[in-house]
Amino acid sequence: MQSFIHIDSHNYLRPENLPDPPDWASLFGNDNPVALEIGCGVGDFILKTALDQPDTNFIAIDFYNKGCYKTCRRIDRHELGNVRVLREEARSFVTERIPKGSLSAVYINCPDPWPKKRHRKRRLVNRQFVEFLMEYMQPGANFYFATDFDDYGEDVAAALPEIQGLENQFAPDLFRHDFPGYHLSKYMRKFLAEGKKIYFVHYRMK
């Protein structure tokens, strides 16, 4: 059982303190586009991405308290004003907290691969989950997925061309192992150092 770390950061939002539904423009203090990272880990990816895109507001969620704590530490040290962190489960958070048609981008990096065959139904990203997310994305919004797990990357890459309303930004390739300009998370760098390949998938809403 994980120990609970108290998070004392103005960038950390507790769900019980949010208005229902949240007014993200008020929570960020501006009307900039809103992007979502599902599974922010220790926050290195969202830090670099938010620094690169100061005119985008980023919501970073993770199920693990320790990851949220480390993410807040990173963004607080850099005094970033365009990231808010929440400890939430992805599907319920999106359903309850995100207005439909509002997200400018969704990032999912190295989610739990559930490597055993009998557990693969537990994987977060599949055709049904992406179709669910599309309801909350605006026209022109970007969807990014990355994994180091071979069959997870191949399965997602094979499923997405069947979805109406998305355009593959890597066409004719279904995935790529190199994505210049896309920041690597701590876990991606670790996997690359071990000789593994990263599967990148990038689609855009029509």
Active site residues: 112
Tokens at 22, concatenated:
């949240």
Burial environment of residue 138 by CB neighbours within 10 A (0 to 12, 13 to 18, 19 or more):
middle
Asked whether the beta carbons of 47 and 80 are under 8 A apart, the reply is yes
Tokens in use for 23? 């007014």
Distance CA 98, CA 34 (A): 10
Q: Is 133 helix (H, G, I), strand (E, B) or coil?
A: helix
Structural contact between residues 11 and 83, judged by C-beta atoms closer than 8 angstroms = yes
Per the DSSP assignment, residues forming a β-bridge with 181 are none
Q: DSSP secondary-structure letter at 161? A: G
